[in-house]
């Protein structure tokens, strides 16, 4: 990658995040479990679209239809597995609304600005569409390192 490469912050082919903490604590919504906080309007729009896609995916658990976030949490979270299904459904809805509120209150970079691709201040992902699935590929060394560390944490949490 060239050191002088810059991206336009209005480019929908990139997602830009800063490392930080969400205001609220989340048990279910994987977006709220991440330390990646959106730094551009396009990134927020992408997150909202992704959340809607997951929420619109329907699964059957017991005798209820649940969305993808509930189904994933029921499979992966020991805390959630101990909860009553109706409580999990209610908590997912609350978390979804809280994340939307947080996203709406974020200070983001201007769409008119540019950002050097090789930065240690922002996580930058190149978004690539394959069929109907969007893949996020770390676009610089800082993001690659962060991504590897996050994957390691997830693997350790699942062991």
- pLDDT tens per residue across span 106-150: 999 999 999 999 999 999 999 998 877 788 999 999 999 998 988
- Number of domains present in the structure of the chain: 1
* Residue 17 near residue 43, CB atoms below 8 Å: yes
SS3 (DSSP) at 68: helix
What is the average per-residue pLDDT within 78-102? 95
Let me know if residue 50 belongs to a domain. yes
pLDDT at 132: 74
| H-type alpha helices, the chain | 30-33, 41-56, 68-76, 78-81, 85-104, 141-158
Give me the sheet containing 36-38, strands edge to edge: 36-38, 14-19, 123-130, 133-138
Find the angle CA(77)-CA(83)-CA(86) to the nearest 5 degrees.
Answer: 115
Greater confidence, 103 or 151?
103
Measured CA to CA, the distance from residue 77 to residue 91 in angstroms comes to 13
Let me know if residue 1 belongs to a domain. no
pLDDT at 1: 43
Q: Which domain holds residue 149?
A: 6-154
SS3 (DSSP) at 10: coil
Place of tokens 């691709």: 117
Can you read off the two tokens belonging to residue 116?
């050097």
Let me know if residue 48 belongs to a domain. yes
| pLDDT interval class at 41 (50, 70, 90) | very high
pLDDT at 93: 97
pTM: 0.88
Let me know if residue 159 belongs to a domain. no
Measured CA to CA, the distance from residue 146 to residue 40 in angstroms comes to 19
What is the average per-residue pLDDT within 9-24? 95
Measured CA to CA, the distance from residue 109 to residue 35 in angstroms comes to 18
Let me know if residue 49 belongs to a domain. yes
10 Å Cβ neighbour count for 129? 9
| pLDDT interval class at 2 (50, 70, 90) | very low
Let me know if residue 59 belongs to a domain. yes
What is the average per-residue pLDDT within 52-67? 95
CA distances from 24 to 42, 45, 114, 124 (A): 22, 20, 30, 24
Place of tokens 């082919």: 13
Let me know if residue 139 belongs to a domain. yes
Let me know if residue 95 belongs to a domain. yes
pLDDT tens-place string over residues 74-89: 998 888 999 999 999 9
């Amino acid at each position: 990658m060239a050191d002088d490469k810059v991206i336009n912050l209005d480019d929908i082919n990139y997602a830009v995040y800063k490392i930080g903490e969400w205001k609220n604590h989340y048990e279910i919504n994987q977006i709220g479990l991440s330390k990646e906080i959106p730094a551009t309007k396009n990134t927020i729009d992408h997150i909202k679209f992704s959340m809607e896609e997951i929420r619109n995916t329907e699964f059957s658990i017991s005798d209820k239809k649940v969305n993808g976030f509930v189904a994933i949490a029921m499979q992966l979270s020991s805390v959630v597995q101990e909860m009553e299904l109706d409580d999990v459904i209610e908590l997912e809805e609350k978390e979804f609304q809280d994340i939307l509120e947080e996203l709406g209150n974020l200070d983001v970079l201007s769409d008119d600005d540019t950002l050097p691709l090789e930065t240690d201040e922002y996580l930058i992902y190149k978004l690539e569409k394959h069929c109907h699935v969007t893949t996020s590929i770390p676009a610089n060394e800082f993001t690659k390192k962060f991504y590897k560390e996050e994957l390691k944490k997830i693997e350790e949490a699942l062991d």
